[in-house]
Chains A and B, each alone.
Chain A
Amino acid sequence: MLKVNNLHVEIQGNEILNGLCLSVGAGEVHAIMGPNGSGKSTLANVLAGHEDYQVTAGEVLFNGSNLLELSISERACEGIFLALQYPVEIPGVSNVQFLKTALNSQRKYHQLNELDAMDFLQWLKTKVQQVGMEEQLLYRSVNEGFSGGEKKRNEILQMLVLEPKLAILDETDSGLDIDALKLVAKGVNAFRHVNTPKQQRAIILVTHYQRLLNYIKPNFVHVLLNGRIVQSGGPELALELEENGYASFVDKAS
């Protein structure tokens, strides 16, 4: 589904990613771990098309075509979803209106008819239950005054509503209490397991904590260090990291 080859990315002249390679197949869950500042959010943002980052070399293929030449919203409509590490507040715009506008924009892109308010609301409420969110949050301004955990859950709700092909979750687990973590994991698993063979979904989980991986079993774990992936393995790699930290990799990388 996603193929990243030798990706080099700069921000304001500083190279953050240098030669990153990653391949994600349909139906797979990949966890990416790495120390602060190693470039995890940079990777996530570049895949989503954030314009502060310059790709200086390398290529990214999404379902066989060149992702880098698509605009931010085209990428979203093609099925890339990024749950932000720091979700943004939009005062004055209600959550439900934001979700409806987003969904209908994507439907329009795919030449589907737009959902009307009633149909949309019915369907939305089933999704709200899946993430255990208070319904009243739908009628508040997007993320405004939401607690940290509510913001993260709201990201998952958006993912469930928009049903992307590739979901990139940037530290969606940080700041969640134990119960919220389970609910978020439940939401992600529900999303993951709607796997009609034609419509398999993939997930990239950026996380610092092995704990999340108890609830969402990854197929692969990667260690990102100094802008590239220095080690890949199965779930056991996360346990090893939890035990020993990144010290041994730092030696290897330098």
Chain B
Amino acid sequence: MTTQAKNLERFVGGEYPHGFVTELATDSLPPGLSESVIRQISAKKNEPEFMLQWRLQAYRHWLTLDVPTWSKVHYPPINYDDIIYYSAPKSASSGPQSLDDVAPEILQTYEKLGIPLHERAQLAGVAVDAVFDSVSVATTFKEKLADVGVIFCSFSEAVQKHPELVQQYLGSVVPFTDNFYAALNAAVFSDGSFCYVPKGTRCPMELSTYFRINSLNTGQFERTLIIVEDNSYVSYLEGCTAPMRDEHQLHAAVVELIALNNAEIKYATVQNWYPGDKEGKGGIYNFVTKRGLCQGNYSKISWTQVETGSAITWKYPSVILKGDNSIGEFYSVALTNNYQQADTGTKMTHIGKNTTSTIISKGISAGHGSNAYRGLVSVGQNASNAKNYSQCDSLLLGAHCSAHTFPYIEVRHPSAKIEHEATTSKISDEQLFYCLQRGITAENAVSMIINGFCKDIFRKLPMEFAVEAQALMEVSLEGCTG
């Protein structure tokens, strides 16, 4: 290996800045899963009967399932009886009524993460729902949103205040029968975010949820449900961090999006769960089911994700293009360093007529990281004039990482136009030499090239978060001065 290549290897070994733990009294259930645990979760949350029944059905279904093994990721079997399925900061057990009820330690945690919850201190125009371990601890700007009819609150609150909406839409896009982790989530999920945008409303600000896993041995199972009615629009951002722990922690979330006629949902994720250390010890297992339903005609759903964290990422934000002339988009940057593994991609299911989907996936592998793109484009028998464009690019840094692309295409209508392009590239020694020869440091050269590689995706993020995403890539890769 040349010296320049060695520089590159040394360079890609960043430190995780969010790895602190908040000391806090918690109200937790003992580890393990049973009907009784599920009844206790439901009771703690004072849920209506339909919720309990739904959870129990999901649990009974989950018991019949086997762990999926078809992905590229490898990990020792998870003992589901060692996991704590419910953990809430004590003060919040009955649900905080306002920011003043939130424990100061939690407020401090979010400040440390750069997400101040006090509305005044916030980025103008972003409403935040903060989910700490299993419960939502604060939602900001609620009143301002309520003025235009937008409901933005924790899932628990939605179950209490808008049970009819929850009952109508919960599980309508991702039923608990969907997969192993979706079933588990349905049985035990403890909180999450809920958003409802009524007809003819452009949500006046960005909405965002920050998820934080804090307690040891706790699984985080949250659910997000977003419903956007006719002629309405919302842009939503989700961010995630966790402390550094030697043990792996499970995060199995479900996100359901529903767009009615001419509605648009933009959903962006900046995922920075703890990725584990340089030897691959610890880190979050991020097994997430995200799906959007373009139910109405001319509806549009776009997923943008920047995935830099987690020991293992397993997720395929998908769009069901049911409405005629609906549009689905998936823009993704996934970075794996050290021993991280990512198996991610999307599923575009074309059902309505004249539907269009776009997939742009950028995978970056460094260290011993392994990165797989897995995508399915399916065109149903009535989906005339369906169009898809897919582009999957991989960038390899160093000699021990890998990238794989698995595009699946199923077409049942002859008018479909499907285009797929894929590239794999490396930062070559000659590129690095060229940059250094112009006086650029190795670190700046690598991040300049990576940002260039990802810029089509970063452009899709709201401005503030594009900056955050760029900084995140730098942190995830930094480690030496060349």
Residues of A within 8 A of B (CB): 48-52, 71-73, 75-77, 81-82, 84, 87-94, 97-98, 101-103, 105-106, 109, 141, 158, 162
| Closest A residue, CB atoms, query B362 | A92
Are A84 and B434 in contact, CB atoms less than 8 angstroms apart?
yes
- Tell me which residues across on chain A come within 8 A of B433, comparing CB atoms: 50-51, 72, 88
Cβ 8 A contact of B439, one of A50, A52, A87, A162 = A162
Are A141 and B452 in contact, CB atoms less than 8 angstroms apart?
yes
Q: Report the bound CA distance from A84 to B438 in whole Å.
A: 11
Give me 16 A-to-B residue pairs in the complex whose CB atoms sit less than 8 angstroms apart, sorted by A's number: A50-B433, A51-B3, A52-B2, A71-B482, A76-B436, A76-B438, A87-B434, A88-B430, A88-B434, A90-B435, A90-B452, A92-B455, A93-B451, A105-B438, A158-B438, A162-B438
| Closest A residue, CB atoms, query B436 | A72
Tell me the B421-449 residues at the A interface (CB within 8 Å).
Answer: 425, 428-431, 433-442, 444, 448-449
**Is the interface on chain B under 10, 10 to 19, 20 to 34, or 35 or more residues?**
20 to 34
- Tell me which residues across on chain B come within 8 A of A102, comparing CB atoms: 435, 438-440
Which of A50, A90, A103 is packed against the most chain B CB atoms within 10 Å? A90
Given A73-B441, A77-B439, A105-B444, the answer on whether A92 and B452 have CB atoms closer than 8 Å is: yes
Given A93-B448, A105-B444, the answer on whether A76 and B439 have CB atoms closer than 8 Å is: yes
Instruction: Say whether B4 faces chain A, with CB atoms less than 8 Å apart.
Output: yes
- Tell me which residues across on chain A come within 8 A of B429, comparing CB atoms: 52
- Tell me which residues across on chain A come within 8 A of B438, comparing CB atoms: 76, 98, 102, 105, 158, 162
Are B437 and A82 in contact, CB atoms less than 8 angstroms apart?
yes
Known pairs A77-B439, A81-B437, A92-B451. 20 more at Cβ < 8 A? A50-B433, A72-B436, A73-B439, A73-B482, A76-B439, A84-B434, A87-B434, A88-B431, A89-B431, A90-B449, A91-B425, A91-B452, A92-B449, A92-B453, A93-B448, A98-B435, A101-B444, A102-B440, A105-B440, A141-B452
- Tell me which residues across on chain B come within 8 A of A73, comparing CB atoms: 436-437, 439-442, 482
Q: Report the bound CA distance from A94 to B449 in whole Å.
A: 10
Q: How many A-B residue pairs have CB under 8 A?
A: 81
Tell me the B450-482 residues at the A interface (CB within 8 Å).
Answer: 451-453, 455, 482
Q: Report the bound CA distance from A91 to B449 in whole Å.
A: 8
Are B425 and A109 in contact, CB atoms less than 8 angstroms apart?
no
**What's the least CB distance linking A13 to chain B, in Å?**
15
| Closest B residue, CB atoms, query A106 | B439
Tell me the B214-241 residues at the A interface (CB within 8 Å).
Answer: none
Q: Report the bound CA distance from A173 to B442 in whole Å.
A: 29
| Closest B residue, CB atoms, query A83 | B437
Q: Report the bound CA distance from A51 to B431 in whole Å.
A: 13
- Tell me which residues across on chain A come within 8 A of B453, comparing CB atoms: 91-92
Q: Report the bound CA distance from A84 to B448 in whole Å.
A: 20
**What's the least CB distance linking B450 to chain A, in Å?**
9
**What's the least CB distance linking B222 to chain A, in Å?**
35
**What's the least CB distance linking A82 to chain B, in Å?**
6
- Tell me which residues across on chain B come within 8 A of A105, comparing CB atoms: 438-441, 444
Which of A82, A88, A92, A158 is packed against the most chain B CB atoms within 10 Å? A92
**What's the least CB distance linking A107 to chain B, in Å?**
9
Q: Report the bound CA distance from A51 to B440 in whole Å.
A: 16
**What's the least CB distance linking B410 to chain A, in Å?**
32
Q: Report the bound CA distance from A106 to B449 in whole Å.
A: 18
| Closest A residue, CB atoms, query B6 | A51
Q: Report the bound CA distance from A17 to B444 in whole Å.
A: 33
Are A98 and B448 in contact, CB atoms less than 8 angstroms apart?
yes
- Tell me which residues across on chain B come within 8 A of A109, comparing CB atoms: 439
Which of A72, A90, A102, A141 is packed against the most chain B CB atoms within 10 Å? A72
- Tell me which residues across on chain B come within 8 A of A50, comparing CB atoms: 433
**What's the least CB distance linking A130 to chain B, in Å?**
18
Q: Report the bound CA distance from A50 to B455 in whole Å.
A: 30
Q: Report the bound CA distance from A135 to B439 in whole Å.
A: 23
Cβ 8 A contact of A101, one of B2, B430, B448, B455 = B448
- Tell me which residues across on chain B come within 8 A of A93, comparing CB atoms: 448-449, 451-452
- Tell me which residues across on chain B come within 8 A of A103, comparing CB atoms: 439
| Closest A residue, CB atoms, query B428 | A88
- Tell me which residues across on chain A come within 8 A of B452, comparing CB atoms: 90-94, 97, 141
Q: Report the bound CA distance from A103 to B453 in whole Å.
A: 22
Q: Report the bound CA distance from A98 to B3 in whole Å.
A: 23
Which of B2, B435, B438 is packed against the most chain A CB atoms within 10 Å? B438
